[in-house]
Amino acid sequence: MSNNPVGWFEIYVQEMARARKFYETVFAVTLVRLPGTELEMLSFPMTMDRYGAPGALVKMDGVDPGGNSVLVYFRCADCGVEESRVAAAGGQVVKPRFSIGAYGYISLVTDSEGNMIGLHSRA
């Protein structure tokens, strides 16, 4: 593999408006509808020529959120900041910010749909 292994991510949701509010509140971003697809998809801010994996919230019939075995980690300057917004946005903190040694810190939280996500920061 010549590139980083993750090229895209999708977080499946049951109620798009609720999920949109959660992610926009926690990460202080605006999600935008992806054109040209019949699926209901809202993408996170992305620049295709920059480091990191772009991704979207997706509502798809027959695919339920939560209980999956994939964990997406969002990069943060200080994951404690985003963690502090989780409860007010309708999620829950599963494991508060803790050290992972030389690799920084992580927090594990669930979103408004029951999906577990990770928050990662170097400091």
Tokens of 81: 């900041």
Alpha-carbon distances of 12 from 7, 34, 62, 79, 88, rounded to whole Å: 17, 15, 10, 22, 21
Q: Tens digit of pLDDT for each residue in 98-117?
A: 999 998 999 999 999 999 99
- What pTM was computed for the model? 0.84
Burial class (CB in 10 A: 0-12, 13-18, 19+), 74: buried
Q: List the chain domain ranges.
A: 9-121
Mean pLDDT lowest among 23-37, 40-54, 93-107 = 40-54
Q: CATH number of 9-121: 2.60.290.11, 3.20.20.60, 3.10.180.10, 1.25.40.10?
A: 3.10.180.10
pLDDT of residue 18: 97
List of long-range contacts for 35-43, beta carbons under 8 Å, 24+ apart: 40/16, 41/10, 42/16
